Amino acid sequence: MTETTTARRVAIVTGGSRGIGREVALRLAAEGQAVVIAYAGNQADADATVAQITAEGGSALAVRADVADEKAVLALFDAAEQEFGGVDVVVNSAGLMILNTVADFDLDALDRMHRTNIRGTFVVNQQAARRVREGGAVINVSSSQTRIATPTYAAYAASKGAVEAISLILARELRGRDITVNAVAPGPVATDLFLNGKDEATIERFAKMNPLERLGSPEDVAAVVSFLAGPGRWINGQTIFANGGVA
């Protein structure tokens, strides 16, 4: 039987310097995993996250990597293997969110967002498929907007629909490898990515969408990711909607 403990496992967390990714990195490190934090440009936040993990007795490394750049992602996985001996868990939390109506959406912005959200997910998952060890887990971050379908979210939701498709098909392609692949689809979460540009009335409206009548926290989502990264071995090829009960 495959051991399911997270002790001495090694995790790569993209987008790990801020928001949901940061909380995932902190959670996995607290559970005993060595964590490689991939960041796009915010080295100060990435270094601060590493410093917090090491101050609390954990092991962590920050690596700059554009998730859509296959050479950078290759180097990211190389760094994890060289520093910690292998890769067991990959959490792809890196993403962009740009909002506008379909009629008014800037196509250059569309390409930029989809480069990170779709190509980036594909590139990270490609390396994960090649290099995650037996008993490992791949968790991609989607969005409940694939169901909620709020106006102005079409381009973003489309990119996250692709994330879910990649996750399901990769789970099936890894048959016989004892590696699970799932997506986690948060609802509105109180991160800079979500809060930026929204007034108080809009934030309150989103908070009331679920029966718990609050925004999610990064810790709420990190708890779900932690389960999938460790004991949740019988969940595979699924999208878990972590949104407090939004329909």
- pLDDT, tens digit (0-9, with 9 covering 90-100), for 126-158: 999 999 999 999 999 999 999 999 999 999 999
Provide the token pair at 237: 């090829």
What's residue 1's pLDDT? 36
* CB environment 221-247: b (16+ within 10 A), e (fewer): bbebbbbbbbebeeebebbbbbbbebe
* 242, β-bridge pairs: 186
Confidence at residue 8, expressed as pLDDT on a 0 to 100 scale: 81
Residue 159 CA to residue 45 CA, distance in Å, equals 26
* pLDDT of amino acid 247: 67
pLDDT, one tens digit for every residue, the chain (247 residues):
344 444 489 999 999 999 999 999 999 999 999 999 999 988 999 999 999 999 999 999 999 999 999 999 999 999 999 999 999 999 999 999 999 999 999 999 999 999 999 999 999 999 999 999 999 999 999 999 999 999 999 999 999 999 999 999 999 999 999 999 999 999 999 888 788 888 899 989 889 999 999 998 999 999 999 999 999 999 999 999 999 998 6
Separation of first and last alpha carbons in the chain:
37
Q: Which tokens is 101 given? A: 């109506």
Q: Which helix (H) or strand (E) holds 186?
A: strand 180-186
Number of Cβ within 10 Å of residue 214's Cβ equals 13
- Which residue in 39, 77, 153, 156 is the catalytic one? 156
Residue 153 annotated as catalytic = no
Contacts of 203 (CB under 8 A, 6+ apart): 195, 215
Question: How much is the pLDDT for 192?
Answer: 80
**Nearest CA-CA partner of 80 in 41, 164, 136:** 136
- Cβ-contact 93, 62 below 8 angstroms: no
Cα gap 37→45, rounded to integer Å: 10
Kind and range of the H or E element at 61? Answer: strand 60-64
Which residue, 180, 185, 177, 173, is CA-closest to 231? 180
Domains in the chain, ordered, with CATH? 10-242 (3.40.50.720)
Residues 216 and 240: beta-carbon distance below 8 Å? no
